[in-house]
Amino acid sequence: MSLRHGRETVAIPGPSIMPERVLAAFRMAMPNIYDGELLDVSEELFDRLKPIAKTEGHLFVTIGNGHSAWEMTTSNVFNAGDTVLVLESGRFATVWGETVLLSGVKVDTVSGSDRAPVDAAAVHDKLASMPADHYAAVLMVHVDTATSVRNDVAAIRAAMDAAGSSALLMVDCIASMGCDEYRMDDWGVDVTIAASQKGLMTPPGLGYVWASERAVERGRGNDRRNSYFDWDKRINAELIYQNYSGTPPVSHIFAAREALRMIEEEGGIEAVWARHAVLADAVRAAVRAWSTPDGIDLQVCDPGAYGNCVTTVRTGSIDALELARRCEDGAGVTIGKGLMDPPSMFRIGHMGHTNPPTILGTLGTIEAALHAMGAPIGGSGVAAAADVIGAAL
Ligand SMILES: Cc1ncc(COP(=O)(O)O)c(C=O)c1O
């Protein structure tokens, strides 16, 4: 029997649930793209996005997904023959490194674990073993969406400084932006990358790149700059047309502005981080309550490395694909498949427009499906999550 015929819930780690207000802003007639309201809305978008990443640096908006933001960065900063150091952590740092490699940049790695954050001491030792200018940049992911491990950006910056490295620090916050605390300038980050479709509550289609003056300066005169992504062209834009290297993505601009207004109405990004922390704690409490020695368990071992945007769950001998199928087909809740080991892993996205009903509804559905499968679980995850949420009400 299927009970899914009501309002469905998407609990994958992006794209996330989109607010009705954002979707309504999307659906509008096309305005003049050279004068009038669009210019103000675009300016407001740029103004509102900088405090989200806690930076006073430059901001560039790409028309594309997170990959387009990676490409923009590569094209502006790296020369062919440069070497970057990729801090492996789960899936996405490695994939980023692969895209950079295709551009003729050499890639070196510090290998990491799927269950723990990048080891800052290992990064220090690697950098210290090389001349200070050996690496053009260090590439890391803040929260890896496959593992839900949150890496300590400030610790990596400290390791780079202690090793005397002149590399730029580049951080992929595609999963974490708008969910997990992030302070680009305080943490000494040169390039921060995000996209619209997760914590920033706007349908897929915009990539965001925040860049320090140092990063912009480093890229000037590079031999493989690409006109479409060129930062200087955008910095010196006289028309909004040049800010986007062509026709602006009008509907996305209005929608993203609406999402950022919602963040301000909530009390600013700090309030949004606090909401995510409570909801993520509730999810983790549920997983702990379900856990058994050979069954369900949290992927991340160290509580200091939990990401508040997504939780990766190991299921041991419980068939995670069957669990996902029952949740989706039977109840209209889509959970994320495990990227590294789909039959024995799943992910719960808790990013952006989420609150107790969406989280408890998701957890309750998972628990019901676990019961339906006769899966061995320790106790009620819903009760544990309700306790966490109740303590915050
Ligand atoms: C951490 C991280 N980096 C990069 C990407 C790639 O982003 P996109 O799929 O928008 O190109 C994702 C997508 O989920 C991600 O979670």
DSSP state of 171: E
Over range 3-23, report the average pLDDT. Answer: 97
pLDDT tens profile 342-372: 999 999 999 999 999 999 999 999 999 999 9
| Atom from ligand 1 closest to the CA of residue 14 | 14
Write down the pLDDT at residue 136. 98
Q: How confident is the model at residue 383 (pLDDT cuts 50, 70, 90)?
A: very high
pLDDT tens profile 24-58: 999 989 999 999 999 999 999 999 999 999 999 99
| Atom from ligand 1 closest to the CA of residue 197 | 10
Write down the pTM of the prediction: 0.98
To test the pocket of ligand 1, the residue of 12, 72, 145 to mutate (highest count of ligand atoms within 8 Å of its CB) is 145
Tokens of 378: 């320790």
> Phi, psi (5° rounding) for residue 225?
-65, 145
Percentage above 90 pLDDT, the chain:
96
Write the residue with the smallest CA distance to atom 7 of ligand 1. Answer: 66
| Atom from ligand 1 closest to the CA of residue 204 | 10
| Atom from ligand 1 closest to the CA of residue 195 | 10
Tokens of 97: 């490194």
DSSP state of 149: B
CA-based radius of gyration for the chain: 21
Q: Which residues line ligand 1 (CB under 6 A)?
A: 14, 65-67, 92, 141, 145, 172, 174-175, 195
Distance 219 CA to ligand 1 centre (A): 24
**Which residue's structure tokens are 């996305």?**
252
Strands 345-349 and 310-314: antiparallel
Q: How far is CA 345 from the centre of its chain?
A: 19
pLDDT tens profile 165-205: 999 999 999 999 999 999 999 999 999 999 999 999 999 99
| Atom from ligand 1 closest to the CA of residue 142 | 1
Write down the pLDDT at residue 223. 77
| Atom from ligand 1 closest to the CA of residue 173 | 1
Percentage above 70 pLDDT, the chain:
100
Residue 282 to residue 120: CA distance in whole angstroms: 29
Tokens of 356: 């107790």
Distance 255 CA to ligand 1 centre (A): 20
Task: Please indicate whether residue 90 or residue 1 has the higher confidence score (pLDDT).
Answer: 90
Distance 92 CA to ligand 1 centre (A): 7
CA distances from 20 to 27, 233, 353 (A): 11, 35, 10
pLDDT tens profile 135-144: 999 999 999 9
Tokens of 103: 């551009």
CA dihedral 188→192→198→200, nearest 10 degrees, is: 80
Distance 66 CA to ligand 1 centre (A): 5
Residue 84 in this model has a pLDDT that exceeds 80: yes
pLDDT tens profile 249-283: 999 999 999 999 999 999 999 999 999 999 999 99
Write the residue with the smallest CA distance to atom 6 of ligand 1. Answer: 66
Residue 1 in this model has a pLDDT that exceeds 90: no
Average pLDDT taken over every residue of the chain: 97
Write the residue with the smallest CA distance to atom 2 of ligand 1. Answer: 174
Distance 78 CA to ligand 1 centre (A): 21
Distance 175 CA to ligand 1 centre (A): 7
Write down the pLDDT at residue 53. 98
Q: Which residue type, as a one-letter code, is found at position 392?
A: A
H helix intervals, 142-301:
153-162, 213-219, 231-235, 240-243, 250-266, 269-290
Write the residue with the smallest CA distance to atom 5 of ligand 1. Answer: 66
Write down the pLDDT at residue 47. 97
CA dihedral 211→273→352→246, nearest 10 degrees, is: -20
Q: How confident is the model at residue 225 (pLDDT cuts 50, 70, 90)?
A: confident
Domain boundaries, the chain: 9-16+268-392, 31-264
Residue 191, helix vs strand vs coil:
strand
Distance 391 CA to ligand 1 centre (A): 33
Q: Enumerate residues 6+ apart whose C-beta is below 8 A from 220.
A: 232
Over range 326-338, report the average pLDDT. Answer: 98
Distance 174 CA to ligand 1 centre (A): 6
Question: Would you state the CATH architecture of domain 31-264?
Answer: 3-Layer(aba) Sandwich (3.40)
Distance 205 CA to ligand 1 centre (A): 12
Over range 328-339, report the average pLDDT. Answer: 98
Distance 128 CA to ligand 1 centre (A): 30
Question: Would you state the CATH architecture of domain 9-16+268-392?
Answer: Alpha-Beta Complex (3.90)
Write down the pLDDT at residue 240. 92
**What sign does the CA torsion over 107, 172, 54, 236 have?**
positive
Residue 224 in this model has a pLDDT that exceeds 90: no
